[in-house]
Structure 1
């Protein structure tokens, strides 16, 4: 049981908060001596999902393990009502906190003096995430954890038929160097993310196969997003549309037609492309390497990832090999790891889904977005590890969640309700019906280029007071807040190769 408790907490490590927010730090553990036992606790903070206490009294076995999955009265409490403490006892308390910012560990030693006065000594202060792949860093008994070293066997599926071949470790099982875009290997995603029925689903993008958005040049796959010129009252459809999960047998992601009763409807502001190997190649367990330059521009989102063959509306899993929002790239930072998007029907509107995203991505800083990098994911039955240019920066234990067939997905998207944390500089409001229109207008109306030393062009000023030459401070603030910078050549994602090896 003890091994199981620690094993289930080998999960992804990272600081998942906004770039301006510091990581969580475990505060000092509180010990309360009771009549026939004791109580330990730490205060609750937003982001904590569970806590483990590992308590050692006078260096004697057995240790006390307690997994706490819910806070009480704003505290994470472990009560031991049958373990009496005495004067001169030494209590060593190891606490492990599962937080949205990662896993944190803290160790304190508490001595009980005369009259039950307590003295504290901090051994580990718990201000940095620990590496779940380096289990010994926070559990000195971890070497005895059962079933950590499971054997992984790479399985390959070609054209929806599982191969009977056996693959030796490090055997190359898939290679794409993009001399051409082979349609026998790559299929296009052809659909739009719909807001037609009020869903808050994913991004503000329509995926096409137009050569302006996807092409192969000089041995590189190029995917280039652009801001749409479509108008709100236009009607259009997507030739060859393939609706995504949650929209099968519906038309909202394939046809756009403005409806008066749905005032919030707005056509996708972004045209881009996304391709996959779902009908040609998928695998279970392996090492995938991608040489890529990520797209750089306001609110862009790259997809270099693995996705299950069996897509599920209610729980969509992604193994992201390389990911970085525009806010990440401003800080020379990339991410990688699992993401799960949960979709549940809205109780008041059964045809409308409510979406939430759980991220287990870790990050690496110091990555120049203007250069190509080798992004690698090693996926086994034991763990999923992330590398950039050969440097390992993250790891998650695979406890059975990631065992099915996955295929390769490459694409560029933008905006949306899930990938960007709401900030005052974001031109749209997450979860609002008007978000799509707000995003589009941030590129096409009232942009920052219309203000020079406090002087507004007519396009800006006519929205406030026709004929006015100078913006007020309030107007300048408004312009700055809602504007997005036009995308330049750096907005193109370029990929030189994709290679998959057996493990």
Structure 2
């Protein structure tokens, strides 16, 4: 009898304790987003038992897990009965905000992922961000001291990524450019001042220093030579870039040109910038939020280019990766009825200069609207097996390595590299806008005014400007940010 009574008492105590545990289980309340003049605030209300709160916030990029955010911070003191994290970054009307929260409550840690909020739907002031609608419960982790929010997440996991002159940790943000200020950051970017090499796919442009930084955006707007003044004739005169020229291989071709006969001055003035002197990497994930150009015979340059031509000096012997590419025509079809204009997005590698091979290592996706209508997030993940491509978080294709064994491969030196050769070395970032050229617009495109193999290609392109210049209503490439993550 005494034994039974003793067991009943123990059961009662355990039941009471269990009931107290359930009764006081903490649930993270909805996060509030408050827009401010110089940034924004995220916060949750204070409750007795909260010891600290960490917020992780991303703009325009969903979290794939409880990972480091673009903006992260741990708050150790409540203010006016709220736990507040302030971010000194203005939000734009087309931004989408993603948040997850980590709360230490009575020595336990609780995590909750919030649903996304579109800033355009915020009328003013404070918005409460509801919890995810998929009925997932907050993650609870028992620990005495939660890890600090840190770019390396305290534990440096091994990574495939190699960065010039330093190590990295998997998931680390290793490069970020938000184009703040009023001019290009010369410690990260340099202009290319040159004409393209006279190779099989040279564009019809002069690259110069005509990019601008406005409202936290990079803007590159191509212009017709001499602003199409009647007195500006690309068939006469000479061009000498002098000491400003940044020729890669041949200064006679890239820095100087005398117009005569079929040789003309570049019909289009534009810009091209790169990180070659400051940042390069091998393997990683690149994200570019950009609004692509709209206008016939234009195309954006969102590229990774080789730091060194380890596989030879021939065009594309060491490869080029295209994070995103469109032919910016408002309407463009081939003679077979294939759509090739700005509603079709491509990503991939260029390994040969000829136009007939341009799509060999490309994947694509299409939309009802031109990709230059609004901003999109273009992503390339490059590892030791393949290239993978996303737009706005949606994967649309991948390209496996083994290029040396591919029937279109043309460089035996690639067999000396690994599975991804020639894409197995460090590459740098290039941004720009180009026009025309011998390699990116197939000859079977309807209404195309030049032939790729014609020595008069650039001249014929320029002569047709009465047809295409009216389509250049939004010809600029506008870039919000560039980020690179270790993988």
Smaller-chain TM-score bracket: 0.5 to 0.7
Deviation at 1:486, TM superposition (A): 2.6
Distance 1:427 1:369, change over 3 A: same
> 2:239 & 2:191 partners in 1: Cα distance?
19
Partner of residue 392, structure 1: 395
Relative to its length, the structure with more strand (as a share) is 1
Partner of residue 498, structure 1: 482
1:486 to 453, 470, 475: 470
The TM-score, its normalising length taken from structure 2, stands at 0.56
Deviation at 1:440, TM superposition (A): 0.6
1:155 to 150, 154, 162: 162
Which string of whole-angstrom CA distances, capped at 9 and with x for unpartnered residues, describes residues 62-83 of structure 1?
xxxxxxxxxxxxxxxxxxxxxx
Partner of residue 436, structure 1: 458
2:351 to 340, 346, 351: 340
The correspondence of residues 105-124 of structure 1 with structure 2, limited to 5 A, is none
Deviation at 1:168, TM superposition (A): 2.1
Aligned length: 287
Partner SS for 2:351: strand
Q: Which has the larger radius of gyration?
A: 2
Distance 1:189 1:278, change over 3 A: same
Partner of residue 303, structure 2: 305
Partner of residue 170, structure 2: 169
Distance 1:489 1:291, change over 3 A: same
Partner SS for 1:281: coil
1:413 to 422, 434, 457: 434
> 1:355 & 1:274 partners in 2: Cα distance?
25
Moved more, 362-371 or 215-224: 362-371
Deviation at 1:219, TM superposition (A): 0.6
> 2:486 & 2:270 partners in 1: Cα distance?
32
> 1:330 & 1:421 partners in 2: Cα distance?
12
Which string of whole-angstrom CA distances, capped at 9 and with x for unpartnered residues, describes residues 162-216 of structure 1?
32x2x22211000000013101110111111355xxx54421010001xxx3100
> 1:253 & 1:183 partners in 2: Cα distance?
22
Deviation at 1:356, TM superposition (A): 6.5
Partner SS for 1:174: strand
Which string of whole-angstrom CA distances, capped at 9 and with x for unpartnered residues, describes residues 4-27 of structure 1?
xxxxxxxxxxxxxxxxxxxxxxxx
Which string of whole-angstrom CA distances, capped at 9 and with x for unpartnered residues, describes residues 403-461 of structure 1?
10000000000001100011341011111011110001111xxx3xxxxxxxxxxxxxx
The answer on whether the counterparts of 2:262 and 2:456 sit within 8 Å (CA) in structure 1 is yes
> 2:258 & 2:315 partners in 1: Cα distance?
29
> 1:238 & 1:329 partners in 2: Cα distance?
35
> 1:301 & 1:498 partners in 2: Cα distance?
18
Deviation at 1:318, TM superposition (A): 1.1
The TM-score, its normalising length taken from structure 1, stands at 0.54
Task: Indicate whether 1:322 and 2:342 are aligned.
Answer: no
Distance 1:188 1:359, change over 3 A: farther
Distance 1:310 1:173, change over 3 A: same
Partner SS for 2:468: coil
The correspondence of residues 130-209 of structure 1 with structure 2, limited to 5 A, is 153-157=160-164, 162-163=165-166, 165=167, 167-180=168-181, 181-193=184-196, 199-209=199-209
Distance 1:224 1:285, change over 3 A: same
> 1:331 & 1:288 partners in 2: Cα distance?
22
The answer on whether the counterparts of 1:285 and 1:381 sit within 8 Å (CA) in structure 2 is yes
The answer on whether the counterparts of 1:177 and 1:496 sit within 8 Å (CA) in structure 2 is yes
Deviation at 1:392, TM superposition (A): 0.3
Deviation at 1:358, TM superposition (A): 6.0
The answer on whether the counterparts of 1:319 and 1:337 sit within 8 Å (CA) in structure 2 is yes
> 1:293 & 1:393 partners in 2: Cα distance?
19
Unaligned runs of 5+ in 2: 1-157, 227-231, 333-338, 402-418
Partner of residue 78, structure 2: none
Distance 1:314 1:427, change over 3 A: same
Partner SS for 1:486: helix
Unaligned runs of 5+ in 1: 1-150, 344-353, 448-482
Task: Indicate whether 1:376 and 2:361 are aligned.
Answer: no
Partner of residue 225, structure 2: 228
The answer on whether the counterparts of 2:342 and 2:372 sit within 8 Å (CA) in structure 1 is no
> 1:314 & 1:357 partners in 2: Cα distance?
16
Deviation at 1:485, TM superposition (A): 3.7
Deviation at 1:371, TM superposition (A): 0.5
Distance 1:222 1:340, change over 3 A: same
Deviation at 1:329, TM superposition (A): 7.3
Partner SS for 2:176: strand
> 1:278 & 1:359 partners in 2: Cα distance?
27
Which string of whole-angstrom CA distances, capped at 9 and with x for unpartnered residues, describes residues 74-95 of structure 1?
xxxxxxxxxxxxxxxxxxxxxx
> 1:489 & 1:216 partners in 2: Cα distance?
20
> 2:397 & 2:433 partners in 1: Cα distance?
23
Deviation at 1:293, TM superposition (A): 0.5
Distance 1:502 1:194, change over 3 A: closer
Partner of residue 425, structure 1: 447
